[in-house]
Amino acid sequence: MNLRQILRQWAKSPGFAAVAILTLALGIGANTAIFSLVYGLLLQPLPYREADRLVQVHESVPARGVDRVPVAVPNLIDWQRQSASFEGLAGLRHAEYNLTGQGDPRRITGARVTANLFSLLGVNPLLGRTFTAEEEAFGKHFVVLLSESYWRSSFGADPGVLGRSLLLDGGSYTVIGVMPGELRLPSRNTQVWTPAGFEPEELELRGNHSWWVMGRLKSGVTLEQAKVEMNGIARRLGEQFEDVRDFGVTVIGLREELVGELRLPLLILLGAVGCVLLIACANVANLMLARSAARAREFAVRAALGARRGDVIRQLLSESLVLSLSGGVLGILLAWWGVTGFVGWLPEGHLLSTGQINGSVLAFTLGVSLLTGLGFGLVPAWQVWRTDLTEVLKDSGRGTTEGLRRNRLRNVLVVVEVALALILLVGAGLLLRSFSRAQRVDPGFKTEHLLTATLALTDQKYPTEPQKAQAILGMVEQVAALPGVESAAAVFGLPFGRMQSKVTFRIEGRPAPAAHEPDNANYRQITPGYFRTLGATLLGGRDFELRDGPDSARVVIVNESFLRTFFPGGAPGQVPSARVSLDGTNNWIQIVGVVRDIRDGGLTQPVEPQMFMPMSQQCWGLASLVIRTRGSAETLEGPVRRAVLTIDGEQALDQMRSMESMVDDTLAQRRLQAVLLGAFSALALVLSAVGIYGVMAWSVSRRTQEIGIRMALGAQWSDVRRLVIHQGMVLTFLGVALGLLGGVGLARFLAGLLYEIQPHDPPTFGWVTVILIGVSWVACWIPARRAARVDPLVALRTE
Amino acid sequence: MTAEPQSAASPLIHLQGIQKVFLTDEVETHALSEIHLEIAQGEYVSIAGPSGCGKSTLLAILGLLDTPTGGTYTLNGNQVANLDHSARARIRNREIGFIFQSFNLIGDLTVFENVELPLTYRGLSAGERKERAMEALEKVGMSHRLRHYPSQLSGGQQQRVAVARALGGKPSILLADEPTGNLDSKNGEAVMDLLRQLHREGATICMVTHDPRFARHADRQIHLFDGRIVEELVEAR
């Protein structure tokens, strides 16, 4: 059958063609879109030479169940010297710089890297050269590499940029090269790279874990072999150095490291769109079955004219393939539109923003389209195979209506559709309820009308900690005086912010904790009034005051989790009469207050023990301003910047945003999963409803005569409606029973993504079942209503 | 038959000036004109005439499947020409038994279920339905095929089942539309014998046929032509 004949067939029944192509387009489009995300993250080759040999190496503390700890510089250097598994090990560390001398001061995102990083990755500069080993040394490290996007946006892709100077944190760095856009380490937002320039203190401190380490396995060395070797090295180092006594090493493939926790949700989504495609296939197979039944006489005539059964089947498959390819083309358009919109909706730098429709994705779509065409085309072909075509010609109406038994295959398809739709609805329901629970989590402070911004004071300008603290306090004071500002404070370690730190400590009078016992807490530096500005609750003791200066007794405020962990059994909020030491010396710090738990790692992550130090007693120059405003937080952005500039005309502010949007970002992943699975399950629900409607409508049209007979025999409209709805609902309930079983299975996979929701959450299972049954009922009611309008006289005349 | 007893002055069916006009493309087609007809309880009436003379339309109006454009229709003493859908369905179920040319059995239902079907719409208990259906099937000699499906029966057997279905509800009148039209002569004769037998047992029958041989089975033969009754013969038995 040639294309012209197929198109003529479509022209004869444009409704069939439109519904089939649109259904397939939705199914194939959804698969194309999700595959483009999967491909971008899981399958696309990394832009590095022999990337399968690249690994990320972390320190670990097995006794405490911690498998990923950043690496201390002395350990990195020892690893480089002692390991034989790697062609090389390179270090990199996220860094932010104040860029001055180019208009208003601003913050740019960068990284400090060891000189061998680029050769280890196999990435060559687009322009200029990379770092030499000599430039890695402290004092000789004032050279910088630009990212391609930064070079284009800030320097207009000027090749003459080489040799120019950038004032970063007050130091003059010479531009020596531009790196290609594929290099996205340590993050997609990285704008500049500078040499490691290890400071003398960094080379000494084994307890300062702040570097990420990448390695390239030697050819033939497995990940397991490298792990064994590295843990042997760690054990030897632990015997030599107290700071890393219980440390081990974790070695992870780079792909796995980059993908992180996104793998499972993505695969679940891929499964979900697979289900959507199956439902679409079942729908189109049903349509094709209906058509082939209606065209039985045409096939019989063809058989009488000499066509073999295989010819008829080939004809049906040709029609199916043309349909599926048409659906595929429309699906690509839908996917392109969906992926473009989705990537635009993602937070900047999100891992999934690599999703795009490329050649590989198009090949996938072509394959899916062909498989789909075969999938739904084989069903009616099989039906034709089983039919004796010559008998069809002889058929003269035996005086009975067509039996429903002939619909068995169509009914099975509908049951499968309903089951798949329910499985997806269960998944979406669980994720949505989980997301809803997460949204309702109390962060421990008031997030509304709170503006935040980060700043980093440079050592060049503020060499000492008191100078840094003084400058920050001055900025806070300036900002607090602004009209529209209720109060202001500063913190190192803003809730949900990037700057986080942990500190290991000892409690006075207690022995050193054993390897499996907790010995650290999240570490924060704050200015007086921080808790009040944040809207957090001081449960006991006192807040910091201006008198807690550099020369007064050192003090610390801890949170409830800290008390529960280290002082269990005490009354809530009761300040323990205890002192702690952060540096292993007798430099004791008195606990003076207890604050209610503040969530800071994420709304759904458990609160860890926290320690708050007054910034006037310890200040690293990194801080976030926290500003409680009377009205909209965003309107104060300009005045806050200007207020900071009155204290330091070269000080940049970065990441100025409302706390509400930061909290919102912490839920982005859950929202993403819930929205996508919700959208696909809604699509599945609609498609399965269309499927039920299609089968029931077709059934009603085939049973017109039967309905006419029933009405002639005295059936009321309600009897006819009940007849049709009963038939559809029996299929629905069978599908629901299967779907609930499948839903239980899916819920087990989802368990790790849920928050405060049991995988077998009865309300979720109950509600989605009710929704599906309701939608099915409507899908049955429409043809049932039409059935009840059958004129028995007309129906009987068709005999 | 257990229809309510009628007085001699009150026929079972009384048609007065029945008309049926179809409007197609602004053309009026008079399918029936000025039909006056009375059928008494226990009568066996045949309506014959050439194709297109209006006999099926008349039967549809008699069976309350269609409504007349004009005139009055009294069934069992009640005006039924302009009842609503629900009331007409109820009367069809209780007062009228249909026998169709194509049998019109439902393929998914067994013989027993087909016969039981009209009784389910009447809300009878399962026991009562079974009793009536069995009685009807025995009457037509099909009680040995209860669990068979229509497709497993011959044409003649299917029509017997259709007759049983019509009898099961114990209607006031049986309306038969070309009951032998889809049967061979032998089976056709057998069905006519069955109707004759039922009539002898007291059934009121109104049969449409184009075949004069079968029309003569009736006591009273009405001939239609162009939508009008042109002749009426009463057989002397």
Identity of the residue in B89, B103, B155 whose CB atom sits nearest the CB atom of A714: B89
CB contact under 8 A, B92 and A714: yes
Chain A residues with CB-CB distance to B180 below 8 A: none
Q: Is A717 on the interface with B (CB under 8 A)?
A: yes
Please give the pLDDT value at position A388: 66
Q: Is A714 on the interface with B (CB under 8 A)?
A: yes
CB contact under 8 A, B169 and A796: no
Q: Model confidence at A397, in pLDDT bands (50, 70, 90)?
A: very low
Chain A residues with CB-CB distance to B60 below 8 A: 793
Q: Is A785 on the interface with B (CB under 8 A)?
A: no
pLDDT tens sequence across A21-57: 999 999 999 999 999 988 888 888 888 889 899 999 9
Please give the pLDDT value at position A481: 93
CA distances from A352 to A178, A187, A297, A342 (A): 25, 13, 52, 9
Please give the pLDDT value at position A691: 85
Q: Looking at the predicted structure, is the pLDDT value of residue A582 above 90?
A: no
What backbone torsions phi and psi does residue A66 show, to the nearest 5 degrees?
A: -100, 120
**CA-based nearest distance B235→chain A, Å:** 31
Chains A–B, number of C-beta pairs less than 8 Å apart: 87
Bridge partners, residue B23, by sequence: B28
CB contact under 8 A, A716 and B121: yes
For A263-291, letters b (16+ CB in 10 Å) and e give eebbebbebbbbbbbbbbbbbbbbbbbbb
CA distances from A311 to A240, A302, A303, A317 (A): 81, 9, 9, 10
CA distances from B138 to A517, B135, B141, B145, B159 (A): 90, 5, 5, 10, 14
**CA-based nearest distance B236→chain A, Å:** 34
Q: Looking at the predicted structure, is the pLDDT value of residue A457 above 60?
A: yes
- Percentage of the residues of chain A whose pLDDT score is greater than 90: 44
Structural domain boundaries in chain B: 41-67+84-234
pLDDT tens sequence across A682-719: 998 998 888 888 888 888 888 888 899 999 999 999 99
CB contact under 8 A, B150 and A400: yes
More confident residue, A447 or A391: A447
CATH level 3 topology of B41-67+84-234: Rossmann fold (3.40.50)
Q: Is B132 on the interface with A (CB under 8 A)?
A: no
Arithmetic mean of pLDDT, A395-406: 53
CB contact under 8 A, A399 and B85: no
**CA-based nearest distance A696→chain B, Å:** 16
Arithmetic mean of pLDDT, A125-141: 91
What is the C-alpha to C-alpha distance for residues A228 and A250, in angstroms, rounded to an integer? Answer: 10
Q: Is A398 on the interface with B (CB under 8 A)?
A: yes
Chain B residues with CB-CB distance to A792 below 8 A: 65
Q: Is A552 on the interface with B (CB under 8 A)?
A: no
Taking only residues 160 to 199 of chain B, the set having a beta carbon closer than 8 angstroms to any beta carbon of chain A reads 165, 169, 182
Q: Looking at the predicted structure, is the pLDDT value of residue A588 above 80?
A: yes
**CA-based nearest distance B34→chain A, Å:** 22
Minimum CA–CA partner of A402 in chain B: B107
Chain A residues with CB-CB distance to B110 below 8 A: none
Q: Is B155 on the interface with A (CB under 8 A)?
A: yes
What is the C-alpha to C-alpha distance for residues A246 and A237, in angstroms, rounded to an integer? Answer: 10
Chain B residues with CB-CB distance to A400 below 8 A: 103-107, 149-151, 158
Chain B residues with CB-CB distance to A715 below 8 A: 89, 93, 121
Contact B103, B162 (CB under 8 A): yes
Identity of the residue in B93, B102, B121 whose CB atom sits nearest the CB atom of A799: B102
Q: Looking at the predicted structure, is the pLDDT value of residue A210 above 90?
A: no
Q: Model confidence at A416, in pLDDT bands (50, 70, 90)?
A: very high
CB contact under 8 A, B102 and A712: no
Please give the pLDDT value at position A393: 58
Q: Looking at the predicted structure, is the pLDDT value of residue A799 above 60?
A: no
Q: Is B7 on the interface with A (CB under 8 A)?
A: no
Please give the pLDDT value at position B2: 35
Minimum CA–CA partner of B60 in chain A: A793
CB contact under 8 A, B117 and A398: no
CA distances from A194 to A115, A651, B228 (A): 9, 20, 107
Return the beta strands (E) in A430-578 as ranges: 450-456, 485-492, 502-504, 506-507, 520-526, 538-541, 555-559
**CA-based nearest distance A264→chain B, Å:** 48
Please give the pLDDT value at position A401: 60
Please give the pLDDT value at position A348: 64
Q: Model confidence at A796, in pLDDT bands (50, 70, 90)?
A: confident
CB contact under 8 A, A714 and B158: no
Q: Return the structure tokens found at A463.
A: 């060499």
- Percentage of the residues of chain A whose pLDDT score is greater than 70: 96
What is the C-alpha to C-alpha distance for residues A165 and A100, in angstroms, rounded to an integer? Answer: 11
Please give the pLDDT value at position A400: 57
Task: Determine which of A395, A396, A707, A713 to mutate to test the interface with B (most B C-beta atoms within 10 Å).
Answer: A713
| Spatial CA neighbour of A715 closest among A766, A787, A627 | A787
Beta strands at A165-168 and A54-61: parallel, antiparallel or unpaired: unpaired
CB contact under 8 A, B117 and A713: yes
Q: Is A399 on the interface with B (CB under 8 A)?
A: yes
Arithmetic mean of pLDDT, A113-139: 92
What is the C-alpha to C-alpha distance for residues B180 and B184, in angstroms, rounded to an integer? Answer: 8
Q: Is B106 on the interface with A (CB under 8 A)?
A: yes
Tell me whether the omega of the peptide bond preceding residue A347 falls within 30 degrees of 0, making it cis. no
Q: Is B123 on the interface with A (CB under 8 A)?
A: no
Q: Is A411 on the interface with B (CB under 8 A)?
A: no
| Spatial CA neighbour of A542 closest among A533, A553, A551, A529 | A529
Those residues of chain B that have pLDDT short of 70 are 1-9, 236-237
**CA-based nearest distance A721→chain B, Å:** 13
Arithmetic mean of pLDDT, A81-92: 94
Arithmetic mean of pLDDT, A333-351: 82
Q: Look over chain A and give the mean of its residue pLDDT values, rounded to a whole number.
A: 87
CB contact under 8 A, A405 and B108: yes
Q: Looking at the predicted structure, is the pLDDT value of residue A423 above 90?
A: yes
> Amino acid letter at A449?
H
Q: Which residues have CB under 8 Å from B178's CB, separation 6+?
A: B101, B208, B209, B210
Chain B residues with CB-CB distance to A397 below 8 A: 102
Minimum CA–CA partner of B63 in chain A: A712
Chain A residues with CB-CB distance to B122 below 8 A: 714
Chain A residues with CB-CB distance to B103 below 8 A: 399-400
Chain A residues with CB-CB distance to B90 below 8 A: 714, 716
DSSP secondary structure letters along A379-427: HHHHHHHHS-HHHHHH----SBPPPGGGGHHHHHHHHHHHHHHHHHHHH
Chain A residues with CB-CB distance to B169 below 8 A: 714
What is the C-alpha to C-alpha distance for residues A633 and A625, in angstroms, rounded to an integer? Answer: 13
Structure-token match 């057989």, residue found: B235
Q: Is A606 on the interface with B (CB under 8 A)?
A: no
Arithmetic mean of pLDDT, A315-334: 90
Minimum CA–CA partner of B157 in chain A: A399
Identity of the residue in A403, A712, A719 whose CB atom sits nearest the CB atom of B108: A403
More confident residue, A182 or B227: B227
